Amino acid sequence: MDIHSFRCLFCVLSLAALEGFSCSLTVHDNFLKPLDSLIISREAGEAHSKFSLRKPTLPDDDICYIVTGKPETLHYCNFNSTAKTFLVIHGWTVSGLFESWVAKLVAALYDREKDANVVVVDWLDKAHDHYGVAAHNTQEVGQEVGLFIDWIEEATNIPLEKIHLIGYSLGAHVAGIAGSHASNKVGRITGLDPAGPDFEGVHAHRRLSPDDAHFVDVLHTFSGGTLGLSIGIEQPLGHVDIYPNGGSFQPGCNLRGALENMAYYGLLAMSDAIKCEHERSIHLFIDSLLNGAEASKAYSCGSSTMFERGVCLRCPKNHCNNVGYDAKRVRKARSVKMFTKTRASMPFKVHHYQLKIHFTSQMNQPEANPIITTSLYGSNGDAKDLYLNVNRKISTNTTHSFLLVTEVNIGELLLLKLKLERSSSLLDMTWPWWKSDTPELQVQKISIWIGETQKRMVFCSKDLHKTNLHHEVIFVKCKNTGRRSFKRQKYRGQ
């Protein structure tokens, strides 16, 4: 078995673990054989999708079904043809049951849009199968949902601009196929970590794509960049594709810890971590519905590596967007890739800062990977002992760029402290001159760009005689905040 096949096997087994399903497959099982040979019990012409109009007071109960071709069901279920209509589409399931997130998303949608119609698309019969079969079934289910949209439009004259499909995992591709098969384009499709296996790199007609709605936005939380796996798809699929935390390793999910436990507990040790990573897309969207006044912001950037250096926090036209429900509509020929950082739990919003720091020294110093911490003091609060992400060598007489995030809104930044973390064992290895009495690494000025407010500030050392990072250095707003000093210096931010 080659490495590609092994990764596919690992992905499918991981998805099974995510669903709490114990797999008995071994590497000798040919689960990658053609899908047609796995599809045994299909009955042509039989509808498998049901459309449950949930109620705000009972978001977890299916008490009223709208049936395609039966307009009386619209009246019986109190369908509001003048309101927004959401179609919530689940993904693959081994249990054959709805997961708890469905009711949470329904309740959050009604919390934001009181008069809306929230319809849960139930395709459990076709999703409750081997993953490969369920992935194949997205084509048939998507076409059924497309027919439902056509019928709703004809029966109620609802403007399709008011129809918003929200699909998770395989459900995201169902939504895309539905949009492509509807006679007219719906207003919006949101893909929540669309599934990767069997969809990465395939033709746009077989998956979610920008052509499927007037606006397609996608959240990637467990993409193929994670350990070579592809539980969620890595490639951009929409007009706006947002990769929270780079699209992998979501805070609080502890995937690394799960990997360490695999040796002892097997693949099922990863189930909670995988579920946490994959479903984070749903909870980010729910958060955007419940905390719309404090929407998380995403920033256009060429890569996650560039974003981690803080060089992408500026917001000219279409370079920034809101995460989740309040994402702004963008129509571009190519997808806009965006990045953001989040907290480990709701509310997920953090505040992004770019720190441009010019390091100097009175003597020649070797390049090093220091441990640097900073503390921010603002008008509304403080954020102390935050680590700068030093992911490359630091050289003196050069300006470096760093991304810093705070979980609290500190308000207007008033004061900043910077210091080297005194971890002697590490510093002795990386900085052999650490113990010298001669001043070495110094910082006199820091330029700060604040992503959420789009403001630039420049801070200078409070005491120009105390700029050596051997000791904590205090910075206050410079009296003259001109740009000339940073423009003229060599810059390694990009």
Spatial distance between the Cα atoms of 415 and 60, rounded to a whole number of angstroms: 49
Active site residue 169: yes
The residue among 388, 379, 380 whose CA lies nearest residue 417 is 388
Residue entry with tokens 């008011």: 162
| Secondary element (H or E) of residue 430 | helix 424-430
What would the two tokens of residue 455 be?
């403001």
Contact between 81 and 158 under an 8 Å Cβ cutoff? The reply is: yes
Q: How far apart are CA 373 and CA 242, in angstroms?
A: 28
Is 351 among the catalytic positions? no
Bond from prior residue into 347 cis (ω within 30 degrees of 0): yes
Backbone angles phi, psi at 384, to 5 degrees: -110, 150
Q: What is the DSSP letter of 214?
A: E
61 among annotated binding-site residues: no
Catalytic residue (choose from 90, 278, 351, 352): 278
Residue of 197, 249, 243 whose CA lies nearest to 218: 243
In terms of residues, how long is the chain? Answer: 494
For β-strands 85-89 and 163-168, DSSP reports them as: parallel
From the list 169, 180, 288, 401, the catalytic residue is 169
Q: Report helix, strand or coil for 233.
A: coil
At 309, give phi and psi (nearest 5°): -90, 0
Integer Cα distance of 184 and 494 in angstroms: 44
User: CA dihedral in degrees (392, 397, 401, 404; nearest 10)?
Assistant: 90
> Is 193 among the catalytic positions?
yes
Q: Is 428 annotated as a binding residue?
A: no
Q: Give the separation between CA 424 and CA 37, rounded to whole angstroms.
A: 62
Catalytic residue among 122, 193, 241, 287: 193
Catalytic residues: 169, 193, 278
Q: Known binding site: residues?
A: 207, 212
Q: Known binding site for Ca(2+): residues?
A: 207, 212
